[in-house]
Structure 1
Amino acid sequence: MFDFDSLAHAIVRQTVLCVGDLMLDEFVYGEVSRISPEAPAPVIAAQRSETNIGGAGNVARNIASLGGRCIFVGMIGEDEVGVKLAVTLAQQPGIESALVHDPARPTTRKVRFVSEHFSTHMLRADWELAQPASAEIEQKLIDAVLPLIPRADIVLLSDYAKGVLTARVIRNVIDTAKRLGKRVIVDPKSANFAIYRGATLLTPNRKEFAEATRSRADSDANIAEAARDAMYLADCEAMLVTQSEHGMTLVTRTGDMVHVPALPVKVRDVSGAGDTVAAALALALAAGADWESALRTANAAAAVAVSKTGTATVTLAELRRKILPTASLAAEQKIAAASDLEAHLAEWRKQDLRVGFTNGCFDILHPGHVKVLTAARGACDRLIVGLNSDASVRRLKGEGRPVQDERARAEVLAALEAVDLVVIFEEDTPIRLIEQVRPSVLVKGGDYAREQVVGHEIVEANGGEVLLVDILQGFSTTSLVQRAREGRA
């Protein structure tokens, strides 16, 4: 069950040890309006430039921006770019860095020329030496990393194939982490997944996964089949394949598969999106999230990152708004008649979103209600709340109820971030509404048994699930009304 608020509180207590290839990302933005007279090449009229910590350093930045603490180990050359990166990293709140210097190589630097108007990458220039570190530097990296592992809650290897993560460095880190009971996430670059043997989770993109497994990787079924062999080879617990606009697919050694569609967003720049996914996954898993919750967190983080330009970072507040996206809507925009419901459902189903449903009178909203609604929203992508009409409440609760009329109750519910849509129904039960919605998940308080939940047969017959949320003791609308009428506090 996905409780984002609890997860967010836990994330800020986590420390991630990130090891990988550090680089400087530079973006030159401008406009292209002519072709060079000297050669058939576009001329970009540069207007501004930005520099950011890139590569595995961007993973570290995202860990820190999401509220976690990052211990970062990487490599730089003895040059101006290396000095700039070292100084900038030292100034980053939430990041502690241990950088190994290699005088035999330049610090990796990537300069991207981007059309400001179209957000289109025109050209990229790289300064780098993409070969494994020498035996001497390799040992320095190992000596820097191993003493830091006991301080971490989870270890993350960010491989850009620029020389830091040699086979020997990878082996030493994974073996030591496993011995200390630390989970290891790897964002791999090598097509030989066997060198990451013993890691907890590998997160290749679809192209990397297809090359490593020699599979098409063009469907969930193909990915699941190829992942089983790959996980055996890598001796890992799970494989996550990121597929850009097609979402993410997670396959576990136990045979479970979870796919989440990409959230709808205007893509501005995909630079560093994988870094954001790795950072969010590491923090969520370290904070105790299950596979699906960690996956949904990472998916939302990616959606935020690609909506920004450059090598972007994501904050917990931005992540919260993406996971609970309708908080910005006015309450009246989130109250719908049953006749208008089909348009919302059609749009959500087109996006392959998981729709949840819960219902109640919600006469006086109290913390018990909020807990159920938050838990319900955490189990789906969009949450519909069925609200008993005034006449319906009166039949169920007796004269004198409801205390607030249906419009007031609907507006209070609609103001909650967890709620995407409120639909008022006239009947004693929401069975007709459930038949119309056909939710993927039906949520009620734990004071019900599954068989008592109205509509459970409909939901389960359509492949959905019934989720019972433990109720918060001491809160009841009926008791609150009685206490108010008796003049008690």
Structure 2
Amino acid sequence: MSAPAPLVVVGDALLDHDLCGRAERLAPDAPVPVVSEARRTSRPGGAALAATLAAADGRPVTLVTALGDDAASESLVRLLADRVRLVRLPLAGALSSKTRVLAEGTPLLRLDDGEGRAREATDEARRAVAEAGAVLVADYGRGTAEVLREALASAAARVPVVWDPHPRGEPPVPGVRLVTPSASEARAFVGGEAPADASALRTAARDADALVRAWKAASVAVTLGGRGALLSHGETPLLVPCPVTAEGDACGAGDRFAAAAAGLLADGELIETAVRGAVHAATRYVAEGGVRSVATDTVTVPAVPATADGDPTDDALRTAARVRAAGGTVVAAGGCFDLLHAGHVALLQAARRTGDCLVVCVNSDASVRRRKGRGRPLVPVADRIRVLRALECVDAVAVFDEDTPERLLTELRPHIWAKGGDYALERLPEAPLVESWGGQVVLFPYLDGRSTTGIAEKAALSPRPTNLTPERGRR
């Protein structure tokens, strides 16, 4: 498996704080909630958040941003230590910071401080952009993209550049590979009133088409929150839906989307593939707790994207650990999944809806052979993994070589172990193990009449088609 390609992030860094507590009463002197037992967390924001999320994907990241000598800048530098390489521009004024006040996870108020702006470009910053293999511009309207505009225009002519715009920022330079506004941002850039819900998709498509032409961009992906993203090259758009419904704190989801898309383009993926991967990454980010994963008091586990060439079990263990650390629910399901059929898909879709990630535990070829006999599996494990990973409801796949998955489950420690309803609890040797760490075995209805054995037998008995075309070269 090749290592993730390096990425240069150019943009305006912020310092973010959350004050999280409980609100059980109103103040006596005003009808406002009283937040008690507040706990403060700090994290990178703006371009610094985008760079941190890109680095969490396992790729080397250089962040080009404006920082000063103020307390907020110094705090941010400490937060970024050992995560990204910093190339600093001089900052005029104090670094911008924002503080959210939340009660039981619901935002009540936001306080903004600092209006610092990038003062000028430096030779080191220009060189970092000139040598980049791919660039993400996280433009929060505080001057970094503006002072480096000439360097960014040159980069867009030779390497993938993803531009995450802000209404207060500069328009993208011509020739960028992908621009990633939200639906409300796209509407503001085009100019117009917010659409009714029934016409939101049509409005987003028109806005994306207009922005491709106005910005001379290769493509525009308008993010639609829980509906996914709409990708346009200036013609009929492509809707990329979210794989599952994810509820949670969406703060930073746009940065997660842009960072994932830029990273995948840096790795050589096509725009459509990059946008699909970015939708999945943003959905998973929200489901796993959002910005809690990068707060200073939160345990974080680097996320490495799953690829067909990597070790799937390592990726599955990282995914489970990351979801667990963020307070999410890990769901696991197991089986041979030889000739994936509708019964398998129904089970996996139902299992994914019960938690925040789904890890599929699949028998190795040797394990299937011992259980099913000679001639099985019909599909080798590498292909079974690839097919399972293509399902939108599957977050990761792990392989076990034993007859039953107890050893793998001990490492994954899922909260829920999902099985089809054709099993009885007393027939599951792994049930006591799952329950030993507080997990639960859950049975789901199984679609009748679907089985790999039945499909294989039917295929074997089907008559072979007669080739009516004479073979060339025969006399």
The bucket for the TM-score relative to the shorter chain is 0.5 to 0.7
Alignment partner, residue 131 of structure 2? 151
Counterpart amino acid of residue 97 in structure 1: L
Instruction: Give the TM-score of the pair, scaled to structure 1.
Output: 0.64
> CA offset at residue 36 of structure 1?
1.6
Indicate the structure with greater helix content.
Answer: 1
Q: In the alignment, residue 112 of structure 1 is paired with which amino acid?
A: R
2:282 to 302, 314, 333: 302
State which of 452, 455, 465 in structure 2 corresponds to 1:424.
Answer: 452
Q: Shift of the alpha carbon at 1:49?
A: 1.4
Partners of 2:338 and 2:330 lie apart in 1 by 13
| Aligned match of 2:473 | none
Alignment partner, residue 225 of structure 1: 206
Offset at residue 163 of structure 1 (A): 3.0
Contact conserved, 1:25 with 1:311, CA < 8 A, in 2?
no
Aligned length: 366
Q: Is the 8 A contact 1:146 1:176 kept in 2?
A: no
Contact 1:304–1:318 (8 Å) recurs in 2: no
Cα distance change, pair 312–186 in 1 and its aligned pair in 2 (3 A): farther
Aligned to 2:230: 249
Identify the match of residue 186 of structure 1 among 163, 174, 189: 163
- After TM superposition, list the pairs within 5 Å mapping 1:192-211 onto structure 2: 194-211=171-188
Query: Are the equivalent residues in 2 in contact too, given 1:272–1:311 (CA < 8 A)?
Result: no
**Once the 2 structures are TM-superposed, how far is the Cα of residue 101 of structure 1 from its aligned partner?**
3.1
Alignment-derived partner of residue 107 in structure 1: 95
Larger mean CA deviation between 154-163 and 333-342 belongs to 333-342
Query: Quick one: percent identity of the two aligned structures?
Result: 24
Over the aligned positions, Cα root-mean-square deviation in angstroms equals 4.1
SS across alignment from 2:189: helix
Give the match's secondary structure for 1:426: helix
1:88 aligns with 2:79: yes
Is contact 2:10–2:136 with CA below 8 Å preserved after alignment?
Answer: yes
Rounded to whole Å, the distance in 1 between the matches of 2:160 and 2:51 is: 17
The 8 Å contact of residues 250 and 259 in structure 1, kept in 2 or not, is answered as yes
Which digits, 9 at most, give the CA deviation of each residue in 1:30-62, with x for residues without a partner?
111122223322111133211111111011111
1:236 matched to 2:217? The reply is: yes
- Per-residue CA distance 1:365-392 (angstroms, 9 max, x = gap): 49x7233334434554259xxxxxxxxx
Determine helix, strand or coil for the equivalent of 2:129: helix
Question: Amino acid of the residue matched to residue 333 of structure 2?
Answer: A
2:354 is aligned with 1:331: no
Structure 1, gaps ≥5 residues long: 1-8, 351-360, 384-406, 412-419, 432-450, 453-489
Given the superposition, is the C-alpha separation of residues 29 and 191 from structure 1 closer, same or farther in structure 2, using an over 3 Å criterion?
Answer: closer
Residue in 2 that maps onto 1:457? none
Matches within 5 A, 1:63-74: 63-74=54-65
Q: Is the Cα–Cα contact under 8 Å of residues 130 and 151 in structure 2 kept in the other structure?
A: no
Structure 2 CA distance for aligned equivalents of residues 318 and 14 of structure 1: 12
Q: Secondary structure at the match of 2:121?
A: helix
Displacement, 1:177?
A: 0.5
Q: Could you tell me whether the CA contact under 8 Å between 1:197 and 1:233 is conserved in 2?
A: no
* 2:452 counterpart SS class: strand
Query: Counterpart in 2 of 1:20?
Result: 11
Q: Partners of 1:39 and 1:289 in 2: how far apart?
A: 55
Q: How does 1:110-149 map to 2 (within 5 A)?
A: 110-116=98-104, 119-129=105-115, 133=118, 137-140=119-122, 143-149=123-129
Question: How much does 1:335 deviate?
Answer: 10
Partner of 1:487: none
Provide the rounded CA distance (Å) in 2 between the counterparts of 1:258 and 1:88: 38
Q: SS at 2:94's partner residue?
A: coil
Tell me the distance in 2 between the aligned counterparts of 1:261 and 1:184.
23
Matched to 1:206, the amino acid is A
8 Å Cα contact 2:64/2:87 also seen in 1: yes
Q: 1:256 to 1:35 in 2, by over 3 A?
A: same
